[in-house]
Structure 1
């Protein structure tokens, strides 16, 4: 038995001691019941009642002693158990014999220690005590059966009680052994699960990739530190929904697309984890970080939860910003070689065209000729300025200019754009522009907006108000200019590469437009990005998430901003 207990786990050994205490408590209750039964004079004569009372008192005292011993001396389990069972068999046998044997009905008391022995002791020990009890019953029944007033039926009853004792021991012992085995298996499985969980926590904590466990309803059930860093503490909070954070709309859209089309398991997205309304007034540190964008590769995988009644999907997030920066450096090296070629191959033809145009201006005086020559001159100057801008980008030149009044600037730009593209005056709408000035090179800002509007006019519906330019100044944050249209939004796959040089989805494009636009903004200490925002400007049906280009001006660049709608 000592070897048996030593082979068990600490939890199983503790279960044995608890079971022994339960047996002790039950023994004490039985002793109290017997003492009360005999004290009330319900059985036998007064002469026979006195020794039985003494036996019950002795039984109760022994029971309390066994309780104390098992509580304060948790050693030698088998010795304590054998001593207790021997005491049970001895006292119950004396009560049984002094109270008239089988006629007393006390033979049923043998089942209590035998069942406890079958649970806590090996089968051989339990059968020994069952044999001892059966021998006592048979010996007393034989003595009484073959006496003067013998009744053979007592011998039969004793045999039945003995057989019941053996059956109880065998059945209970087998059941207890199975339960002990199941408990030991559960403890072992629990230990293995605990070790696996500790390893999983370590792997998740040390993993450089972000991991989110998301339900079918978009609720985040688990995350790791890398995911919190990539998505922001608010965006990756356990128990929250992905849709609760506007900055995570690209991931939400990609997640919904994947659930509808599982073959699209990997996409690239760009998010601003700190650009969240819940953080706009927290601290200056959060406000300073709101323009920091994260370029992520997002992969989706479905966990096998068949039959568990819960859908769990895993979102893997890989920050590819460093990889993109290296690719950007390679492309910038190509851009340097391209700009050197442009300086020689484009400037010379432009100079020749400009010189020829000046000569024609001296000879052609008709109004229509002057108008055409002016168009040529303006476009030569514009192309030449674009070449200069490209050269400045390669040198990362920073420009500083006087404050630019956006109201007048945007009005002129709108009129010119409407005339160039033959648009009615209500298609491009201006909003929130009153006495707003920023420090931004006007030619640079013009090139940026013309580029964005040229893209918008290709996809907008052409309805009144289908293209919008409006100024927004969130509380406590920098001034923003939004350029938006009602065309289809940009997919997450395209958005991830939107501002890369030479990346284009058009067969006629060069892939430099948006890249140059962003670099022009950076040269003026501003930021250009494509974002999803909640608003109702473009949707009559209420608050809706929509994509738009956002130019965020430097904080010190905006002056005298009054009357912003």
Structure 2
């Protein structure tokens, strides 16, 4: 791209060679001037015209020093035209030094080779032959001016000129190959940088958290998902930083290094209540850490499970509901029969009750199998709960109160699905409160959890509470402690909560009493 934008500019590799050549010019001119001034090899240097040699060496040294200063201060203009002019000036100075020293017999004529070779490395195309021709002309002119009748020196100068053409062509070919190799290397480097940037973008947008730790226990890469999952979104320094900044992760990495495992671990960090699935992979000297939200993985598995369940329940609905409908209809006809005894009417009532119960179980299973994905929306929980309580109280006649301990409890969830959750939980609370105390009263307490700062809703009733030994079973399917229950209500509640990334668990509200707590996610959790 740089070649297309500035065709007369030299590439970086040629610029480095030009800097070396600038040092060479200065050292050469200074060395020739010092040897001449010190009287070294006076019979060679300046033997034909000492005055011309001295002044030429001084001028060449000053010019070389000026060029070197420009290179030293970084102001060297790497343009082909200026390099061409520099080469022409060098050829002129070398020819004057050779002429003043008696021609090719002084050996200074061989300095033309270095200048011509340098020109062939910098200047592309046929123009480098012009410089070789110019060097040959300068050399032959010097010999003819010194001794026009000495054919031996003229032949020597002509031979050197022919070699200059040959060397110029050879090094031009070498330079062309070097430039092509450099261009290919630059293209590969640019492509590698593009792939690196592309990889970083892909890693940054992955839902899986990725952390790369080097051999010095430093974090080299951490994507946005990893920061969110580890709850360190804005508290981390710039990369690379010590793994000490993530103490929980560092501790589990040490444990894995002491006892490597191929399977992922389910971990819950101190600063984050959600379960994380973490896997470690050794890649050379680096360690790759993959972090996933275990609830999302569970939700995906649950979706597959429910998809299979949906196909199964479709068959169940067809195979069971039709006979059940026939049984219920026959029981109804039997109840209307004038010949039935009073004692048998009680039996028909039992049959009718259990038909309704089985039908309710089928409806619950079908509802789970048809569950749609959560359509998350931003929700302010105080407003949402107040509207729910008004609607529930007007429809069911029960007294439902709300008590908010925090403002601006914003979250993200599917309001329709969470309405189902809250209705089911409040139904249970109302039923058990009425059976236990005769008062159908349920209270919803809204607050922000101290440990996680997440919005929470506690559903508190005046029922007998859930015994400790039964708390781990209440969310299992078909588990119930009520004679009329199907055992699917709380299981459906848990499924809907997991679909919305809402944590549900039983918590002690006061000594001897417990409540159901819903912990809601941050607003961004489902809206991404």
Q: TM-score with structure 2 length normalisation?
A: 0.50
Q: TM-score with structure 1 length normalisation?
A: 0.47
Identify which of structures 1 and 2 has the higher relative contact order when contacts are C-alpha pairs closer than 8 Å and 6+ apart.
1
